[in-house]
Amino acid sequence: MFKLKIAKGLFFLLISALFSGFLSAQTVNIKLIETSDVHGALLPYDLTNDLQRTSSLAQVHSYVISQRSLRDQEVILLDNGDLIQGDPMSYYYNFEDTTVTHVFADALNFMGYDAATIGNHDIETGHAVYDKFRREIKFPWLAANAVNIKTNEPYFEPYTIIEKKGVRIAVLGLTTPGVPNWLPKKLWLGIRFNDMIESARMWVEIIKENEKPDLLIGLFHSGVDYTYGGETADTYRNENAAQLVAEQVPGFDVVFVGHDHSGWNFKTKNITNDEVLILGPLSKARTVAVANIQMTFDSTTNKWKKNSSAGEIVETKDYKPDDHFMSKFLLNFNIVKNYVNKPLGQISKTISSRESMFGPSEFVDLIHSIQLDITGADISFTSPLTFNTAIDEGWLYIKDFFRIYHYENYLYTMALSGREIKDYLEFSYGNWMNQMMDENDHLIRFAKDKNGEIKFSARYNTPETEERFYNYSSAAGIDYEVDVSMPIGKRIAIFSLSDGSAFHLDSIYSVTINSYRGSGGGGHLNRGAGIPKEELPNRIIASTEMDFRYYMTSWIEEKRTINPEIISAWKVLPESWWEKGREKDYKLLFGSEAPALEKQSIEFDYK
C-alpha cells in the first residue's frame, strides 16, 4: 500500500513536471479585434442613399474568419458600443418590428463575439429595446459604471473573463458618463452613470483580487480627447476619459476606445511607467482595431508574461463580404429596403443642407415648420443634422428622413425666458460664426493652429470648424439679427415674435427643441442660457412619446405635398460682409462656388 502511494506520488510529480515544462515553453499569441460605432452597418449597402458601400459587418466577418483560421493565434472579438442606432436596418428592428430577435443580436451571435460594451446611442433606443437586446445576445454586455440605482450594482455586467490556452484575460467595460447630458431621463431611468476613473479604480482592484488575470483589457465607449467640449482632465464624469483611465489607473495592458469615431493606435504610459496600448476604429465598420499580444509562461514565477504588444488598424474594404453572412441576412435586408422605399408625399423643390451653414435655409426651416406645427410652441430651435446632403424634388420616401433628421431625438416643449432665448442664441452664434474684421474675413468660426492658420483634417484634408455643424442652432418664431462685427456675447438683437407681437427679455415663452439639446447637449442651455443641468427637466412642458422622425413622416403623409420655404426671420450683418464671407467659406467647405443668392427681404419693425 505504501509502495502504491509512492508510485502515485511519483506519477503526479512527473505529470506536474511535464506540465510545468510544457507551460514554460509555451507561447500564446492573442489577437483582440474591436469593432465600435458600427451604427447599423450590417451589410455593404447604404439603405438611406440607395448605394453600395465598402464597409459593414459582412466584411468584418470575412476578416475575423481569416484570422480564426490561423492556428498560431487565439482570436477574441469585441464590440465597443453604438451598434443599434444610425441606420434604417437598426431603426426597423428597434421600433418597427420588435416581435422577432433583433437582427444585430442575430448577427453578433453568428459572428461569435466574446463581449461588448454598451454605447450612449444604444441607450438612446430606450429600455424596451436595449433590455430586449441584452436578453437576446449570447455574450456579456458590459458597463461597470452604469449602476442600477435600486441595487447599487452595475445594471449591465461590469467585466468578463475570457480564457485562451490557460491565459486569463479580463475585459472591463465602461461607457461614457455623458448620457444624462444628452438623453431624456426615461431612456435611462433607474441607471446612474458614474465617473469612469473612479469606477475603473474600484473594479480593477476587484478584478485583480478575485480573478488574478494575466491580461487586463479596457473596453471603453469613450473617446481619447478629454478636452472636447471645454472639459479638462479634472472634469468629473468627463465624456472622453478613456486615455485618462489608461494613464491614471495602473493595470491595463490595452484600452480599446470608441465614441469619437477617430481611429487610434498609439502607446501611452501610466503612473507606474508601464506602457498601455490604446486602440480605436473608425465608425460604420470602416476599420477594426486589432491588438496583437504574445504571452509566454514563466516557470520560475509560475505566471504568464507579456512578451510584446502591438496595434494595427485594418481596413475592411480590403475584404470581400462573407457570402454566408450575406445570404443569412438577405431577407432582413429586403424587408428593410421595402420599408425605407415607402412613398410618403411630394416635395415641390430640391433642398440642400449646405446653405444651413451660412444663414436661413429651406432645409432647416422644414424642420422648424414641422416642430412648430406639431407642438404649437411660440419659438423653435433646431440645427442642421446633416452637413452635406440634398433632398431632390419629387417623391419623399421614409429613407429621406434619415438624411433630413439623422438621430432618434424626442421633441420637447420647454419654458424659457426671453433672456435665456437671447443668451442661447449668443452661445450658438458665438461658436458658429467668426468675429469678422472686414469683408475679407471668414464668416465661419474655423479652428486655428498656434500660428493662427485654419486647421485641416489630416484624414480628409478638410477645414476643421471650432464647433460641430450639428450644434449650429438657429431659431424660428422670432425676428432677429446676428452682427458678426461684434464680439461673442454681443451679437444678437431680437425685435419681436414673428407674428408681430412684442418680445420681452423677462417674459416666458414656449420653445420647441429636440431632446438632445433640451437635456443639455451642446451646452446651449446650461453654458449658454445659464440654466443649471439639474433644472432642465423642470423646464419641460411636454415631450413626444416617439422619436421626432416618426412625427415628421406622419406630418408629411398628412400634408401629401410640401412647398419648402424660409420661415425663419433672421439675417447676418453687415450684409455685404456676410455675402463675401459666405462665398469664400462655401468654396472652402464644399470645394465649389456658392450658388447665387435668392434675395430675401427681411424687414423688422424696430418700434
Question: pLDDT, tens digit, for every residue of 577-596?
Answer: 999 999 999 999 999 888 88
Higher pLDDT, 3 or 509: 509
DSSP letter at 257 equals -
Asked if residues 263 and 280 have their Cβ atoms less than 8 Å apart, the reply is yes
* Whether residue 408 has pLDDT greater than 50: yes
Average pLDDT over residues 60-84: 97
Asked if residues 539 and 531 have their Cβ atoms less than 8 Å apart, the reply is yes
Q: Which residues pair with 459 in a beta bridge?
A: none
Of 179, 76, 80, nearest to 123 (Cα)?
179
* Whether residue 11 has pLDDT greater than 80: no
Quote the strand ranges of 403-477, DSSP E: 411-417, 474-476
Q: Which residues pair with 90 in a beta bridge?
A: none
Evaluate the omega torsion of the peptide bond into residue 574 and state whether it is cis, within 30 degrees of 0. yes
Spatial CB neighbours of 312, under 8 Å, sequence gap ≥ 6 = 265, 289, 290, 292
Res 607: pLDDT: 30
Question: If you average pLDDT over every residue of the chain, what do you get?
Answer: 93
Q: Given pLDDT bands bounded at 50, 70 and 90, which one contains residue 96?
A: very high
DSSP string for 73-139: -EEEEEE-S--SSSSHHHHIIIII--SSPPHHHHHHHHHT--EEE--HHHHTT-HHHHHHHHHH-SS
* Whether residue 598 has pLDDT greater than 90: no
Higher pLDDT, 23 or 105: 105
* Whether residue 606 has pLDDT greater than 60: no
Res 24: pLDDT: 44
Question: pLDDT, tens digit, for every residue of 459-469?
Answer: 778 899 999 99
- Amino acid identity of 408? E
> Count of alpha carbons within 13 Å of 15, Cβ hemisphere only?
6
CA quadruple 247, 248, 252, 254: dihedral sign? negative
Helical ranges in 536-606 per DSSP H: 548-559, 575-590
Res 9: pLDDT: 44
Q: Residue 13: which H helix or E strand, with range?
A: helix 2-24
Question: pLDDT, tens digit, for every residue of 505-553?
Answer: 999 999 999 999 999 999 999 999 999 999 999 999 999 999 999 999 9
Q: Grid coordinates representing 585?
A: 467659406
Least confident of 17-21, 134-138, 266-270, 344-348: 17-21
Can you give the pTM of this predicted structure? Answer: 0.89
Asked if residues 431 and 466 have their Cβ atoms less than 8 Å apart, the reply is yes
State how far the Cα of 214 lies from the Cα of 290, in Å rounded to an integer. Answer: 19
Res 261: pLDDT: 95
Res 522: pLDDT: 94
Of 228, 294, 249, 313, nearest to 36 (Cα)?
313
Res 460: pLDDT: 74
State how far the Cα of 584 lies from the Cα of 441, in Å rounded to an integer. Answer: 9
Can you list the domains of the chain with their CATH numbers? 24-337 (3.60.21.10), 344-590 (3.90.780.10)
State how far the Cα of 607 lies from the Cα of 599, in Å rounded to an integer. Answer: 24
Least confident of 70-84, 119-133, 444-458: 444-458
* Whether residue 481 has pLDDT greater than 70: yes
Percent of the chain with pLDDT over 70: 94
Question: pLDDT, tens digit, for every residue of 553-562?
Answer: 999 999 999 9
Q: How far is CA 63 from the centre of its chain?
A: 24
- Amino acid identity of 358? F
Average pLDDT over residues 597-607: 47
Spatial CB neighbours of 392, under 8 Å, sequence gap ≥ 6 = 350
* Whether residue 406 has pLDDT greater than 90: no
* Whether residue 14 has pLDDT greater than 50: no
Q: Given pLDDT bands bounded at 50, 70 and 90, which one contains residue 15?
A: very low
Rg (CA), the chain: 27
Res 230: pLDDT: 85
Question: pLDDT, tens digit, for every residue of 187-209?
Answer: 999 999 999 999 999 999 999 99
